[in-house]
Amino acid sequence: MTTVAPTEAKADAKTDVYWMPFTANRQFKKNPRLLTAADGMYFTDDKGRQILDGIAGLWCVNAGHKRPKIVSAIQQQAAEMDFAPPFQMAHPKAFELAERLAALTPTGLDKVFFTNSGSEAVETALKMALAYHRVRGEGARTRLIGRERGYHGVNFGGISVGGMVANRKMFGTMLSGVDHIRHTHDPARNAFSVGQPAHGAELADDLERLVALHDASTIAAVIVEPVAGSTGVLIPPVGYLQRLREICDKHGILLIFDEVITGFGRTGNPFAAQTFGVTPDLMTVAKGLTNGCVPMGAVFAKTHIHDAFMTGPEHLIEFFHGYTYSAHPLACAAALGTLDTYADEGLLTRATEMQSYFAEHLHSLKGEPNVIDIRNIGLIGGVELSPLPGEPAKRAFNVFLDCWERGVLVRTTGDTVALSPPLIIERGQIDHIIDTVRGALHRAA
Ligand code: PXG
Ligand code: PLP
C-alpha cells in the first residue's frame, strides 16, 4: 500500500474508480459537479461558488446544513462511544430517541424499530407485516400490494412493491406474490391543481379489484407513499388516502405509509399522515430523521402489531430481523440533535406558514415554455415539462444543469423538476429558486 499525503491525494483525485449511484457516470465524469462544504441554505462547490440548495440535499436536510446542535451531538458521541452492539444489548440514546419520536407520531404508532436507510425501513416494514399475520395465525396473508409509480428504495422487497419501471426491469422476478394498484396521476382532470387535486379518490377502489382477484385472505399489506416523491411529486387526491384506509380496514389488510420523504415536516406537520388525517398501521421514515447527517431509518408500528409478537417464551427472540447498525450511537445522537433543532425553530410545522407563498410562486411558472403541469403540497413542488421529442428526461435534465451553472440545486426525475428546499428557507430564497428555474425553462425551450 502506498501512502499519500491528503493534499496530494486531493489534487490527484481521479474519478474512474468510484461507481456512482443513480448517476450517468460517463457524462458526470467529463464535467464533475463536486460539493465541498455546506452551511444553512447553501452548498459550496470545489470552485468556491455558493449553491442555493433547492432540494434539501436529497429531500433530507430539512433543518438546513451544518446545524450546531447536530454537529456537536455527533462530535460528542464519537468521542464518548463509537459503537454498541444492538442485538441483546443497547445504549441509552436508542431508548431516548424512540420515546422522543413516538411523541411526534400519529396516535397509536408508538413502537419504533431502527434501520440505516429508507430502503431498509421498507424491507423491515414488509417483513413485519408478513410476520404479524403469521404470528396471529393468518399465515396465508403473504401477498404485498404496492402502487404503480411508487418508489420504496432499491432493495428487493422495495423494488418489488415499487412501480418505477427503470428500477425494476433489470432485476429479474423479484419477490413473488406482489401486485400493484393504479397510480393517481391524472393530468387530464387535475393539471395545475394547487395543493391536493380534486379528482381521483375513486382510484383507491382499485384495491377492491385486487381483493376480488386474489381474495383478502391472501393479502398482508398495502404500501404507498402519501405523496409520491421520486416519481415526480404526485399529490394524493382529496379523499383518496381515507378511502384506501377504509378498504384496508374492511379486509384486515395492513396499510403502510412510506414517509421517507414526507416525514419530518415536509408537508407542514411532523408526518403526512397528520396532514391528510389518515393513520397507517406501519410507517417508514429515514432522511429527515437525522437531517441527513448520519444514515438512519426507522419503522413505526402500532402497539397491537408489536404486541402480537410478544407472546412466546420470554427468552426467545420475537422478530428475527435487525441490522448491525440498527440504532447506531452516532445516528441516535444525530437524530436527537435534529429533533432539538426542529423543536427550537418550529420547523416541523413551518411548511404550513410557507406553503402559500411557495405555491403562489411555483404556480407562477404556469405558461412558461413546455410547462404541462405544476404540483405542490407543503414545501414540495413538481414542475412537469413536455419531453424533448424522442429524448425523454433530457429537457428537465437540461434545466437542472442550467440551474446548477447559475448556483441553484434542483432535482429532476423523468421530465419533472422537483423542489423540496430545507424548511428554513426564506421568501427571498424561494424567489431566487423560482426565478432561476424560470430562466432555465426559457433557455431549455
Ligand atoms: N421510500 C421512499 C418513499 C423514498 O423516497 C426510499 C424509500 C429509500 O430511502 P434510501 O434512504 O434507501 O435512499 C426513498 C428515497 C429522488 C430520490 O430523486 C428519492 C429518494 C432516493 C433517491 C433519490 O427523488 N428517496
Ligand atoms: N453479510 C455478512 C457476511 C454479514 O456477516 C452481515 C452481518 O453480520 C451482513 C451481510 C449484514 O450486514 P448488516 O447487519 O450491516 O446489514
pLDDT at 166 over 60: yes
Q: Which CATH class is domain 71-342?
A: alpha beta
pLDDT per residue over 188-218, tens digit each?
Answer: 999 999 999 999 999 999 999 999 999 999 9
pLDDT at 13 over 80: no
**Which residue's alpha carbon is at the smallest distance from atom 24 of ligand 1?**
230
Read off the amino acid at residue 338.
T
Residue 129, by phi and psi: left (phi above 0), alpha (psi -120 to 50) or beta?
alpha
Which is the closest atom of ligand 1 to the Cα of 287? 11
* pLDDT value of residue 52: 99
**Which residue's alpha carbon is at the smallest distance from atom 4 of ligand 2?**
324
d(C-alpha 119, C-alpha 167), whole Å: 13
Decide if 6-66+347-443 and 71-342 have a common fold.
no
**Which residue's alpha carbon is at the smallest distance from atom 7 of ligand 2?**
324
Which ligand has the minimum distance to the alpha carbon of residue 256?
A: 1
Sheet containing 408-409, strands listed edge to edge, beginning at the edge strand earlier in sequence: 35-39, 42-45, 50-53, 408-409
pLDDT at 2 over 60: no
d(C-alpha 368, C-alpha 18), whole Å: 38
Which is the closest atom of ligand 2 to the Cα of 322? 14
Q: How many C-beta atoms lie closer than 10 Å to residue 423's C-beta?
A: 27
Which whole number is the average pLDDT over 80-90?
A: 98
pLDDT per residue over 135-149, tens digit each?
Answer: 999 999 999 999 999
d(C-alpha 38, C-alpha 254), whole Å: 40
pLDDT per residue over 216-229, tens digit each?
Answer: 999 999 999 999 99
pLDDT per residue over 292-309, tens digit each?
Answer: 999 999 999 999 999 999
Rg of the chain over Cα atoms, rounded to whole angstroms, equals: 22
* pLDDT value of residue 56: 98
Which is the closest atom of ligand 2 to the Cα of 323? 14
* pLDDT value of residue 109: 98
Do 411 and 418 meet the contact criterion of CB atoms below 8 Å apart? yes
* pLDDT value of residue 10: 54
pLDDT per residue over 237-284, tens digit each?
Answer: 999 999 999 999 999 999 999 999 999 999 999 999 999 999 999 999
* CA 159 – ligand 2 centroid, Å: 21
Residue 4's pLDDT band (boundaries 50, 70, 90)?
very low
Helix (H) or strand (E) holding 25: helix 25-30
What architecture is domain 6-66+347-443?
Answer: Alpha-Beta Complex (3.90)
pLDDT at 11 over 50: no
pLDDT per residue over 174-192, tens digit each?
Answer: 999 999 999 999 999 999 9
* CA 324 – ligand 2 centroid, Å: 7
Please give the mean pLDDT across all residues of the chain. Answer: 96
Share of the chain above pLDDT 70, in %: 97
Residue 14's pLDDT band (boundaries 50, 70, 90)?
confident
pLDDT at 116 over 70: yes
Domain parsing of the chain, residue ranges: 6-66+347-443, 71-342
pLDDT at 339 over 50: yes
Helix ranges (DSSP H) in 81-220: 92-102, 118-135, 156-161, 165-168, 187-190, 206-214
Which is the closest atom of ligand 1 to the Cα of 117? 11
Q: Which of 128, 148, 111, 164 is nearest to 224 (CA)?
A: 148
Which whole number is the average pLDDT over 338-350?
A: 98
